[in-house]
Amino acid sequence: MPLPAGQGITGCPIADELYDNKDSETVKAFLAEYLDPDRRIVIVTDLAPGYPRIFDEIFGDNVVHQLCLLHLNKLIASKIPGKRNY
């Protein structure tokens, strides 16, 4: 599973790592390695349900969490019956 971190102004990656899983301990270790919990940040993720709890635990009020529109659109499309091409 890829876990990327990017810089919002330049769009340049800060870090991109591949892991065998995305369990909470793996995500916490990745975030602790590359991001400062005392700085205000924005994180965009897929719809994995564990992220909000992890972000609150590490960053508290210093995080803005947004959902990836691609993943959200795929979820919506998967709920519509019939043939889909996405």
Quick: pLDDT tens for 44-63: 888 889 999 999 999 999 99
Range with the poorest average pLDDT among 3-12, 21-30, 42-51: 3-12
The answer to the question of residue 74 being in a domain is: yes
Query: Do the domain assignments include residue 52?
Result: yes
Is 86 inside any structural domain?
Answer: no
In a domain, 84, yes or no: no
Q: Is residue 58 part of a domain?
A: yes
Q: Considering the domain boundaries, does residue 39 fall inside one?
A: yes
Q: Give the start-end residues of each E strand in the chain.
A: 2-6, 13-18, 41-45, 63-67
Number of domains observed in the structure of the chain: 1
The first and second tokens of residue 15, run together, are 């870090």
Range of the domain at 22: 2-78
Is 15 part of any domain?
yes
In this prediction the pTM is 0.72
Confidence bin at 26 (pLDDT 50/70/90): very high
